[in-house]
Amino acid sequence: MRGITGWRVPGDVALRGGVALRAALTIVVTLLAGSVASHAAAQTKPQTKPQTKPQAPANPRPGSAAPAVPTPEQDRAALTNLLQKRFPALAIDDWSLGSAAFSPGVAVIPLGGANATNVNDILAIGKKAWERPFANGKSLATCFPNGGRRVASNYPQWDPQQNRVVTLEDGINACRVLHGELPFRLDDGLTMGAVSAYLRSLAVGQKLNVRVPPGPARTAYASGREWFGKRLGEKGMACASCHVLQAGGFWDEPDAPGGKRGLSPAVGQVLAWPRVEAGGRVRSLHQQFQRCMTRTGAEPFASGSPIFAEIEYFLANSSNGLTIRGAIPAH
């Protein structure tokens, strides 16, 4: 495993100056509380430190005389509030530019250049596949309301029939299968990557509007939230370690421009997808999750796995009301 230097995350309290420590810790305690619970250990690589028997979680599951669980709306407000104290000068709607907005020496809004051309090429490929008739004469464009316009602003969503969270990519594949076509492979940039980029482009400028209704959807949301705060891999780091506690800071990585990558806040992270890498390779949101899990030393979950869909659901709720940007170049 490549050594990562420059950061100490002992007990995840290495907060930077000017932070409202008490507010931060409240959220962190809730976010990281899930790290001792449930089936995490079975799903992640063995930790380097011997595991002590889990104590009673600080935030027990609903049903076990639990303290009141915050609603998804309250969650979002609290998280946004906390993070906003870190970067008072940066408009919340610009947080969705991701790492680039927080990296030293990287232009915040990438204009022109080879990567922008790549984004346009990917969109053009996606549009063709979107309109191409299936064997039965239907097409992806006929499956979605309004030919797909604004659709991406409501994904991911809870599907009561399937009793699970479905992503935009799941929606695309459901349409194909309904019409007798094979599903796209989730990690194939030139089919699913391009089509999802195009479908998202039809919602650019819209506000994300993901619903987490009471009932089983809340359980899926809570699971995604818990996973976001769960310590993973050899380093025992959670998504929240980097994207809440260290958000606005940097992560040292030899192959990054300037040797550092900015750490974006959890709020805003789902709005600019997919990313198009130099050379035109498409990186989906779930491939980004995998890239990040590798950083913790954990074995990444599969694209499209229920856990990733639930993490995406949690992140999407956290970004509700912010502007969808669609595909942007990766840095």
Footprint of ligand HEC (CB under 6 A): 98-99, 237, 239, 241-243, 251, 261, 263-264, 269, 288-289, 291-293, 295-296, 311
Alpha helical stretches, state H, the chain: 21-33, 40-43, 72-84, 113-131, 140-143, 168-178, 194-201, 216-228, 239-240, 285-295, 306-318
140 vs 242, beta carbon nearer ligand HEC: 242
State the residue number with the nearest CB to ligand HEC. 98
Instruction: Report strand pairing: 328-329 vs 157-159.
Output: unpaired
Q: Which is nearer to ligand HEC, 127 or 261 (CB)?
A: 261
Q: Are 322 and 93 in contact (CB under 8 A)?
A: yes
In terms of residues, how long is the chain? 331
Strands 328-329 and 275-276: parallel
Question: Would residue 292 show up in a list of annotated catalytic residues for this protein?
Answer: yes
DSSP state of 8: -
Whole-number minimum distance, CB 319 to ligand HEC, in Å? 10
Tell me the Cα Rg of the chain. Answer: 20
At 238, give phi and psi (nearest 5°): -100, 160
Closer CB to ligand HEC, residue 140 or residue 203? 203
Query: For ligand HEC, which is the closer residue by CB, 176 or 325?
Result: 325
Specify whether the CB–CB gap between 31 and 244 falls below 8 A: yes
Task: Compute the least distance from the CB of residue 228 to ligand HEC, in Å.
Answer: 6
Q: Tell the smallest beta-carbon distance from residue 189 to ligand HEC (Å).
A: 16
**Options 175, 239, 242, 292, the catalytic residue:** 292
Please state the closest distance from residue 252 (CB atom) to ligand HEC, in A: 9
Active site residues: 292
